[in-house]
Structure 1
Amino acid sequence: MDRNSLIMSLPFRTSSPPLNWSSADCCNWEGIACDPRVAYNNLTNITGAIKILMRCKFLSVVLIGENFFHETIPSDDSIAHSNGFRNVQHLSIIGCHLTGQIPMWLSNLKKLKILRLNHNRITGSIPGWFSTLPRLKHLALTHNHFSGEFPKELCALPALISAQALENDTNTSILPLFSIFGRTIYQYNSVSSLWPGISLRNNSLGGKIPIEIGRLKLIRELDLSNNNFSGNIPSQMSELTNMERLDLSANRLSGEIPISLANLNFLAKFSVANNNLSGPIPSGTQLQTFSPLAYDGNAGLCGSPLPKECTHTVKSNKDKKTQDEKVGGHRIPWFQITVVLGFITGFWGVCSSLVLNCNWRNAYFQFLENLGDQLYVTMAVSWARLLRRLL
C-alpha cells in the first residue's frame, strides 16, 4: 500500500503527510497510533482499511465494527496470500451489514482466538477450515444469512477440545476489552479471559446438530437459536460439563429433552423454547429451576416448571393381566388349560414310573388288587348287615 492510497483511505484529508509515512510498519508512522479500537467511526473502503492494517505487524486486536456499511467483505487474492495480521488474536467486524462470504484469508490467522462477524449479511456455508485455526476459541457469527448444516469440523476446534492448544500461549493482549451482552457491559483485561463459545444465532442453518458436538469439552456458551435445526437434541451435549449458556430456542427440534442434560451443573442460561419437543422435563434436575419461558412454545412438553402436568396412564396389574390374556379379541381359558396340563403331567408322571420300573409296576398292581379285595369284602359285609335288619 503506497502513501497516496493510505491518505485516500483515511476518514480525513491532508495535503502534507509526514515524511516518515514511507516506512514499512504503519504503526511507526507519525500521527498513526496502533490502537485498533476504531469502531463506530463511519469509515468507508473496508478493503483498503484491511490492507493498511495488515501492514501493522504488531496488531493483536482489531475492532473495526459499525463502519463500512453495506460494503462487501474483502476477499482479494492479494489479501489471501498476504502474511499480514499474523499476530492478530481478536478480530471484530460487527454491525457493518457486509455482504459476500467468509474470506479464505482468515484461515491464515493462526494466532486468532476470537472472531466476531455478527450483524452482517454474509451468505454461504460456514467453512470447515475453522478447525485449522489452533487457537480459535470464540466464534460469533450471529445475525447473518448463513445456510447449510452445522459443520462437523467445528466440533474439532483444538482450543475447545483441549487446554493444551493454549498451553504455551504467552502472547496475550492486556489492553481492556469490552463486550456488550444484553444490557450488561463486560470488561476483559486480556483476550484469553473471554468465554470460549460458538454463537450462530439468527441464521438459516438446518439439518441435525452433530453428535460430535460432545467433543467440545471446554465450551462455555453455545447459541444455535433462531435457525432451522431439526431432529433430536443429541445426548452427547451432556458431555459439555463446562457449559454455562445453552440456547436452542426457535428451531424445529423434536423428541424429548435428554435426561442426561442434568449433568450440565453450571448452566446459568438455558432455553429450548419454540421447538417441537415433547415428553416430560427431566424431574429432580437443574433443568426444572429455569423459567417456564425457557420451555414455552413446545405443546408436547409437560412437568415443572410448566403448568401442564404429565398424565401418565399407568395400568393396574389386573388391567395388564387382562390385556395380556386377550389374543385376537378373545379371552384365553387359562383355568381349563391349567387343569388339563395338571392332569397330563400327573398321569404321565405315574405311568412313566410304572413303565420304566418293574418293581414299582408289580407293587402298584398288587396294591390295586388288594384294594379291590378290601372294597369287595367291605361291601359284602355291609350288604349282609343291611339284609338282616330288613328281615
Structure 2
Amino acid sequence: MLDLEKNALSGRIPEWIGESLQDLIVLSLQSNRFFGNIPLQLCHLANIQVLDLSLNNISGTIPKCINKFSAMTHEWDTNATLTTDYIPSGITYHLGIYEYFNNAVLTWKGSNFEFKNTLGLVKILDLSSNILSGEVSEEIMSLTGLVGLNLSRNNLSGEITSKIGYLKSLDFLDLSRNQFSGEIPPTLSLISGLSVLDLSNNNLSGRIPSGTQLQSFNSSTYGGNPGLCGLPLPTKCPGDESAQGSATNNGGKEDTTTNNGGKEDTDAPKDDLWFYLSSVIGFVVGFWGVCGTLLFKASWRHAYFNFLIDAKDWLYVTAAVSISKLRTRLSF
C-alpha cells in the first residue's frame, strides 16, 4: 500500500510507481497537486484493487490499457491481503514474526471508512475532481469487479456506453458534473445492487428508463440535465399528457376521446342540448295537441268522453261474460 494523500506534492505522477511497485494493492495520491496525463506505466499494476487519483489537476484521457488491472476484473477475492503500516497498529512484531492486518482507511461514498479484513471485497477506481477529457473508454467496462466508480467533476464527454451494465458488482457510481450527452442506457438497470447513483449536471436527454430501480433514486440524482424527463423528475416526457388523458377516459372520469382522424370531439355537449330541447318541445306539442283540442272544441270533447264510456261498458260486459262462463265450468 502507498498512501500519499493530502500533501502538497506536485509535478507529474512518477512512472516508476507502475514499473517498480507492481505488487501494489492500494495506491492513493488524492488531494495533491499532480498534473499531466495518467502515465501508461500504472497499467502494470495488475494487483491494484484501489486506485485513487482524485482531487488533483490530472488532464488528458483515461488510458485504454486500464483493462490490465486484473484484480479489478474479479468480483471478489477472499485471499487478497494487504501489507500496511498506514494504521499504527497494523503491524506488530511477535516472537520474531511480523504480523500483518488486512485493514485500510479508504474514501468510500465521500467519507473515510475503515475496512477490516474485507479488502479482498473492495475494488475502487476514483479519478474524480480532475480535468480529464474525452470519452470514457469501454475498456473500463471490463473491470467487472468494481464496487465503486467515481469519474465526477471532470470534462468527460460522449454517451454513457450501454456496456455499463457489465459492471454488475457496482454499489457506487458517480458520473456527475461532466459533459455526458445522449440517453441513459437501459442496461444501467441491470446493476441491481446499486445503492448510490449520481448522473446530475451533464447534458443527458430523453426519458429515464422506466420500470426499473432507477426510479427509486431521488430526483437530485438526475438534476441539472435539462433534456431529461420522466420519473422521478417532475418534467413529463412528450406524449405523457395524451397517455394520461386516455387513461382518465378509460376510467370513466373524463371523455377526451378523439374522432374524425384525431380531431377532438367537441360536438358531444351540443348533441345533449338538442336532445333535451327536442324532448321538451315534443312533450308540449303532443300534450296541447290533444288536450288543447278537447278543451276548446266541444264536439270533439263529447265524442272523446262517449268513446271512453263505450270502452268502459265493453270492458265491463266482456269481464262479466267471462266470469259467468268460468263459474259454469267450475260447477260441472
TM-score w.r.t. the length of structure 1 is: 0.54
- Alignment equivalent of 2:199, drawn from 272, 292, 301: 272
Q: CA deviation at 1:286?
A: 1.0
Q: CA deviation at 1:155?
A: 2.5
- Alignment equivalent of 2:69, drawn from 150, 153, 157: 157
State whether structure 2 residue 185 is matched by structure 1 residue 258: yes
Q: CA deviation at 1:224?
A: 0.5
Change (3 A) 1:156 1:319: farther
Output the CA distance in 1 between the equivalents of 2:238 and 2:186: 18
Structure-2 residue corresponding to 1:291: 218
Between 167-176 and 98-107, the greater mean CA deviation after superposition: 167-176
Q: CA deviation at 1:98?
A: 1.2
- Alignment equivalent of 1:129, drawn from 34, 41, 44: 41
Output the CA distance in 1 between the equivalents of 2:260 and 2:139: 46
Report if the CA contact (8 A) 1:129-1:153 is conserved.
no
Q: What's the secondary structure of 1:119's corresponding residue?
A: coil
State whether structure 2 residue 147 is matched by structure 1 residue 220: yes
CA displacement 1:302-355 (0-9 Å, x = unmatched): 0111011112288999869xxxxxxxxxxxxxxxxxxxxxxxxxxxxxxxxxxx
Output the CA distance in 1 between the equivalents of 2:222 and 2:121: 29
Q: CA deviation at 1:280?
A: 0.5
State whether structure 2 residue 16 is matched by structure 1 residue 105: yes
Structure-1 residue corresponding to 2:93: none
CA displacement 1:200-237 (0-9 Å, x = unmatched): 11100000011222211101111000001111001111
Q: Show structure 1 runs of 5+ residues with no match.
A: 1-89, 321-391
Structure-1 residue corresponding to 2:59: 147
Change (3 A) 1:243 1:170: closer
Output the CA distance in 2 between the equivalents of 1:188 and 1:239: 25
Change (3 A) 1:287 1:318: farther
Paired letter, 2:173: L
Q: CA deviation at 1:186?
A: 2.3
Count of aligned pairs between the two proteins: 230
Q: What's the secondary structure of 1:123's corresponding residue?
A: strand
Paired letter, 2:23: K
Paired letter, 1:120: N
Change (3 A) 1:105 1:279: same
Report if the CA contact (8 A) 1:152-1:210 is conserved.
yes
Between 191-200 and 235-244, the greater mean CA deviation after superposition: 191-200
Q: CA deviation at 1:170?
A: 6.1
State whether structure 2 residue 148 is matched by structure 1 residue 242: no
Change (3 A) 1:231 1:319: farther
- Alignment equivalent of 1:189, drawn from 116, 132, 136: 116
State whether structure 2 residue 242 is matched by structure 1 residue 311: no
Q: CA deviation at 1:197?
A: 1.2
Change (3 A) 1:169 1:222: closer
Higher relative contact order (CA 8 A, sep 6+): 2
Change (3 A) 1:304 1:111: same
Output the CA distance in 2 between the equivalents of 1:150 and 1:180: 21
Paired letter, 2:131: S
Structure-2 residue corresponding to 1:350: none
CA displacement 1:80-99 (0-9 Å, x = unmatched): xxxxxxxxxx1110111211
Q: CA deviation at 1:104?
A: 1.9
Change (3 A) 1:97 1:211: same
Q: CA deviation at 1:136?
A: 0.5
Paired letter, 1:308: T
Q: Could you list the runs of 4 or more consecutive aligned residues of structure 1 that deviate by over 3 angstroms after TM superposition?
A: 166-173, 179-185, 313-320
Q: CA deviation at 1:192?
A: 2.6
Report if the CA contact (8 A) 2:78-2:121 is conserved.
no
Report if the CA contact (8 A) 1:176-1:190 is conserved.
yes
Output the CA distance in 2 between the equivalents of 1:175 and 1:210: 32
State whether structure 2 residue 229 is matched by structure 1 residue 302: yes
Output the CA distance in 2 between the equivalents of 1:171 and 1:180: 17
Report if the CA contact (8 A) 1:213-1:236 is conserved.
no
CA displacement 1:268-308 (0-9 Å, x = unmatched): 11011000000000001111111111101000000111011
Q: For the aligned residues, what is the CA RMSD?
A: 2.6
Output the CA distance in 2 between the equivalents of 1:204 and 1:185: 24
Q: What's the secondary structure of 1:261's corresponding residue?
A: helix
Q: CA deviation at 1:129?
A: 2.2
Matches within 5 A, 1:22-41: none
Change (3 A) 1:170 1:248: closer
Q: Show structure 2 runs of 5+ residues with no match.
A: 84-99, 244-257, 263-332
Paired letter, 2:50: H
